Chain A
Amino acid sequence: SQTIHQWPATLVQPVGSPLSLECTVEGTSNPNLYWYRQAAGRGLQLLFYSVGIGQISSEVPQNLSASRPQDRQFILSSKKLLLSDSGFYLCAWSVRTYEQYFGPGTRLTVT
Protein backbone atom coordinates (compact mmCIF):
# COMPACT_ATOMS: atom_id res chain seq x y z
CA SER A 1 0.00 0.00 0.00
CA GLN A 2 1.00 3.59 -0.53
CA THR A 3 2.11 5.91 2.24
CA ILE A 4 3.16 9.52 2.30
CA HIS A 5 5.48 11.10 4.83
CA GLN A 6 6.12 14.71 5.71
CA TRP A 7 8.66 16.17 8.05
CA PRO A 8 9.03 17.92 10.25
CA ALA A 9 5.58 17.83 11.82
CA THR A 10 6.00 21.24 13.40
CA LEU A 11 8.49 24.01 12.85
CA VAL A 12 9.07 27.43 14.40
CA GLN A 13 11.39 29.65 12.41
CA PRO A 14 12.38 33.33 12.66
CA VAL A 15 11.66 35.78 9.87
CA GLY A 16 14.44 35.76 7.30
CA SER A 17 15.58 32.22 8.00
CA PRO A 18 15.63 29.49 5.32
CA LEU A 19 13.09 26.70 5.03
CA SER A 20 13.16 23.12 3.81
CA LEU A 21 10.14 20.83 4.06
CA GLU A 22 10.34 17.31 2.75
CA CYS A 23 7.72 14.94 1.42
CA THR A 24 8.25 11.34 0.34
CA VAL A 25 5.85 8.78 -1.07
CA GLU A 26 6.20 5.02 -0.83
CA GLY A 27 4.50 2.24 -2.73
CA THR A 28 3.86 3.94 -6.05
CA SER A 29 5.88 5.03 -9.08
CA ASN A 30 5.83 8.28 -11.05
CA PRO A 31 3.15 9.97 -8.95
CA ASN A 32 2.03 13.54 -9.41
CA LEU A 33 3.12 15.48 -6.33
CA TYR A 34 1.60 18.62 -4.82
CA TRP A 35 2.34 21.24 -2.18
CA TYR A 36 -0.57 23.10 -0.59
CA ARG A 37 -0.78 25.70 2.12
CA GLN A 38 -3.62 26.32 4.55
CA ALA A 39 -3.56 29.67 6.26
CA ALA A 40 -6.09 30.27 9.03
CA GLY A 41 -9.55 30.65 7.53
CA ARG A 42 -8.31 30.68 3.94
CA GLY A 43 -8.89 27.16 2.67
CA LEU A 44 -6.42 25.20 0.57
CA GLN A 45 -4.01 27.03 -1.70
CA LEU A 46 -2.11 25.02 -4.31
CA LEU A 47 1.49 26.19 -4.35
CA PHE A 48 3.32 23.79 -6.66
CA TYR A 49 2.77 20.53 -8.46
CA SER A 50 5.03 18.16 -10.32
CA VAL A 51 4.25 15.50 -12.91
CA GLY A 52 7.80 14.15 -13.01
CA ILE A 53 11.38 14.53 -11.86
CA GLY A 54 12.57 18.08 -12.41
CA GLN A 55 9.14 19.23 -13.66
CA ILE A 56 7.66 21.87 -11.37
CA SER A 57 4.61 24.04 -12.00
CA SER A 58 4.10 27.08 -9.81
CA GLU A 59 0.57 28.21 -9.13
CA VAL A 60 1.21 31.43 -7.22
CA PRO A 61 4.14 33.87 -7.13
CA GLN A 62 5.84 33.89 -3.76
CA ASN A 63 9.18 33.51 -2.06
CA LEU A 64 8.82 29.74 -1.99
CA SER A 65 10.26 27.21 -4.42
CA ALA A 66 9.88 23.49 -4.95
CA SER A 67 12.14 20.76 -6.25
CA ARG A 68 11.74 17.10 -7.13
CA PRO A 69 15.15 15.52 -7.03
CA GLN A 70 13.81 11.94 -7.07
CA ASP A 71 10.65 10.30 -8.36
CA ARG A 72 8.98 10.10 -4.96
CA GLN A 73 10.54 13.06 -3.18
CA PHE A 74 9.20 16.60 -3.18
CA ILE A 75 10.86 19.48 -1.34
CA LEU A 76 9.50 22.91 -0.49
CA SER A 77 12.07 25.61 0.19
CA SER A 78 12.54 29.25 0.93
CA LYS A 79 15.68 31.33 1.21
CA LYS A 80 14.11 33.90 3.55
CA LEU A 81 10.86 33.30 5.39
CA LEU A 82 8.21 35.99 5.79
CA LEU A 83 5.61 36.22 8.53
CA SER A 84 2.98 35.53 5.88
CA ASP A 85 4.56 32.12 5.20
CA SER A 86 3.09 30.79 8.44
CA GLY A 87 0.53 28.08 7.90
CA PHE A 88 -0.15 24.39 7.58
CA TYR A 89 1.70 22.84 4.63
CA LEU A 90 0.31 19.73 3.04
CA CYS A 91 1.91 17.43 0.51
CA ALA A 92 -0.23 15.18 -1.67
CA TRP A 93 0.18 12.59 -4.42
CA SER A 94 -2.02 11.25 -7.18
CA VAL A 95 -1.94 8.91 -10.12
CA ARG A 96 -4.26 8.45 -13.09
CA THR A 97 -7.53 8.35 -11.19
CA TYR A 98 -7.05 11.98 -10.16
CA GLU A 99 -7.95 11.76 -6.50
CA GLN A 100 -5.19 13.05 -4.30
CA TYR A 101 -3.89 11.51 -1.12
CA PHE A 102 -2.55 13.81 1.53
CA GLY A 103 0.26 13.61 4.02
CA PRO A 104 -0.08 14.52 7.70
CA GLY A 105 1.10 18.10 7.19
CA THR A 106 3.70 20.45 8.66
CA ARG A 107 2.69 23.30 10.93
CA LEU A 108 5.03 26.24 10.23
CA THR A 109 5.10 29.26 12.51
CA VAL A 110 7.27 32.18 11.45
CA THR A 111 8.09 34.48 14.36
Chain B
Amino acid sequence: AQSVTQLGSHVSVSEGALVLLRCNYSSSVPPYLFWYVQYPNQGLQLLLKYTTGATLVKGINGFEAEFKKSETSFHLTKPSAHMSDAAEYFCAVSDLQSTLTFGKGTMLLVSP
Protein backbone atom coordinates (compact mmCIF):
# COMPACT_ATOMS: atom_id res chain seq x y z
CA ALA B 1 0.00 0.00 0.00
CA GLN B 2 1.09 3.53 -0.69
CA SER B 3 1.18 6.42 1.72
CA VAL B 4 2.21 10.06 1.58
CA THR B 5 3.34 12.26 4.43
CA GLN B 6 3.51 16.01 4.03
CA LEU B 7 5.39 17.62 6.89
CA GLY B 8 3.71 20.78 8.10
CA SER B 9 0.08 21.56 7.51
CA HIS B 10 1.05 25.24 7.16
CA VAL B 11 4.24 26.83 5.86
CA SER B 12 4.82 30.58 6.01
CA VAL B 13 7.38 32.43 3.90
CA SER B 14 8.08 36.01 2.97
CA GLU B 15 7.74 37.17 -0.60
CA GLY B 16 11.04 36.51 -2.38
CA ALA B 17 12.10 33.77 0.03
CA LEU B 18 12.76 30.13 -0.81
CA VAL B 19 9.75 27.83 -0.76
CA LEU B 20 10.29 24.28 0.48
CA LEU B 21 7.35 21.92 0.90
CA ARG B 22 8.20 18.45 2.13
CA CYS B 23 6.79 15.17 0.92
CA ASN B 24 7.80 11.65 1.89
CA TYR B 25 6.19 8.57 0.46
CA SER B 26 6.08 4.84 0.84
CA SER B 27 5.35 2.58 -2.09
CA SER B 28 5.60 -1.11 -2.86
CA VAL B 29 6.35 -0.37 -6.51
CA PRO B 30 8.59 2.18 -8.25
CA PRO B 31 6.60 5.33 -7.60
CA TYR B 32 5.05 7.83 -9.89
CA LEU B 33 4.88 11.06 -7.91
CA PHE B 34 2.90 14.25 -8.35
CA TRP B 35 2.46 17.71 -6.89
CA TYR B 36 -0.84 19.55 -7.21
CA VAL B 37 -1.85 23.08 -6.24
CA GLN B 38 -5.31 24.16 -5.16
CA TYR B 39 -6.48 27.76 -4.94
CA PRO B 40 -9.53 28.55 -2.79
CA ASN B 41 -12.76 27.09 -4.10
CA GLN B 42 -11.08 25.62 -7.16
CA GLY B 43 -10.09 22.16 -8.32
CA LEU B 44 -6.57 20.80 -8.10
CA GLN B 45 -4.09 21.73 -10.81
CA LEU B 46 -1.15 19.52 -11.70
CA LEU B 47 2.14 21.31 -10.96
CA LEU B 48 4.61 18.62 -11.94
CA LYS B 49 5.16 14.88 -12.06
CA TYR B 50 7.91 12.30 -11.80
CA THR B 51 7.54 9.02 -13.64
CA THR B 52 10.93 7.81 -14.84
CA GLY B 53 14.20 9.35 -15.99
CA ALA B 54 15.57 12.63 -14.69
CA THR B 55 15.04 12.91 -10.95
CA LEU B 56 14.80 16.71 -10.97
CA VAL B 57 11.55 17.71 -12.56
CA LYS B 58 10.40 21.19 -13.42
CA GLY B 59 6.81 22.30 -13.36
CA ILE B 60 4.68 25.32 -13.92
CA ASN B 61 5.04 28.65 -12.11
CA GLY B 62 8.75 28.12 -11.42
CA PHE B 63 8.33 25.11 -9.14
CA GLU B 64 10.53 22.06 -9.23
CA ALA B 65 10.87 18.84 -7.26
CA GLU B 66 13.56 16.23 -6.84
CA PHE B 67 12.92 12.52 -6.51
CA LYS B 68 15.31 10.99 -3.98
CA LYS B 69 14.82 7.25 -3.82
CA SER B 70 17.19 6.72 -0.91
CA GLU B 71 15.26 9.24 1.18
CA THR B 72 11.83 8.30 -0.22
CA SER B 73 11.24 12.00 -0.70
CA PHE B 74 9.83 14.30 -3.36
CA HIS B 75 10.15 17.82 -1.93
CA LEU B 76 8.77 20.80 -3.81
CA THR B 77 10.83 23.97 -4.11
CA LYS B 78 10.72 27.41 -5.63
CA PRO B 79 13.65 29.83 -5.35
CA SER B 80 11.58 32.96 -4.80
CA ALA B 81 8.04 33.04 -3.48
CA HIS B 82 5.42 35.27 -5.00
CA MET B 83 2.19 36.39 -3.38
CA SER B 84 0.28 34.45 -6.03
CA ASP B 85 1.86 31.19 -4.78
CA ALA B 86 -0.32 31.28 -1.69
CA ALA B 87 -2.44 28.13 -1.98
CA GLU B 88 -2.70 24.58 -0.73
CA TYR B 89 -0.29 22.03 -2.14
CA PHE B 90 -0.83 18.29 -2.32
CA CYS B 91 1.71 15.56 -2.93
CA ALA B 92 0.46 12.27 -4.39
CA VAL B 93 1.79 8.83 -5.30
CA SER B 94 0.35 6.44 -7.86
CA ASP B 95 -0.32 2.78 -7.21
CA LEU B 96 0.24 2.17 -10.94
CA GLN B 97 -3.25 0.67 -11.07
CA SER B 98 -6.02 3.21 -11.04
CA THR B 99 -5.77 5.46 -8.02
CA LEU B 100 -3.59 8.13 -6.45
CA THR B 101 -2.85 8.41 -2.75
CA PHE B 102 -2.75 12.03 -1.62
CA GLY B 103 -1.06 13.64 1.31
CA LYS B 104 -3.12 15.80 3.63
CA GLY B 105 -1.91 18.99 2.04
CA THR B 106 0.27 21.94 3.03
CA MET B 107 -1.09 25.45 3.07
CA LEU B 108 1.51 27.92 1.83
CA LEU B 109 1.17 31.42 3.26
CA VAL B 110 3.17 34.23 1.63
CA SER B 111 3.62 37.52 3.46
CA PRO B 112 4.74 40.77 1.85
Residues of chain A whose beta carbon lies under 8 Å from any beta carbon of chain B: 32, 34, 42-44, 46, 49, 51, 57, 59, 88, 90, 92, 94, 97-105, 107
A30 CB to closest chain B CB (Å) equals 13
Partner of A105, one of B43, B46, B51, B103: B43
Q: Are B90 and A98 in contact (CB-based, < 8 A)?
A: no
In the bound complex, do residue A49 and residue B99 qualify as a contact, i.e. CB atoms below 8 Å apart? yes
Is B102 in contact with A43, judged by CB distance below 8 angstroms? yes
Residues of A within 8 A of B32 (CB): 98-99
A46 touches B99 (CB 8 A): yes
| Chain B contact residues, CB within 8 Å of chain A | 32, 34, 36, 41-46, 49, 51, 90, 94, 96, 98-100, 102-105
B97 → chain A closest CB, angstroms:
9
- Residues on A with beta carbons closer than 8 Å to the beta carbon of B51: 97-98
- Are B100 and A100 in contact, CB atoms less than 8 angstroms apart? yes
Q: Which B-chain residue is minimally distant from A43 (CB atoms)?
A: B104
The CB with the most chain B CB atoms within 10 A, among A43, A98, A102, A104, is that of: A98
Interfacial chain B residues near A59, Cβ < 8 Å = 99
**Most A Cβ at <10 Å: residue of B32, B90, B94, B99:** B99
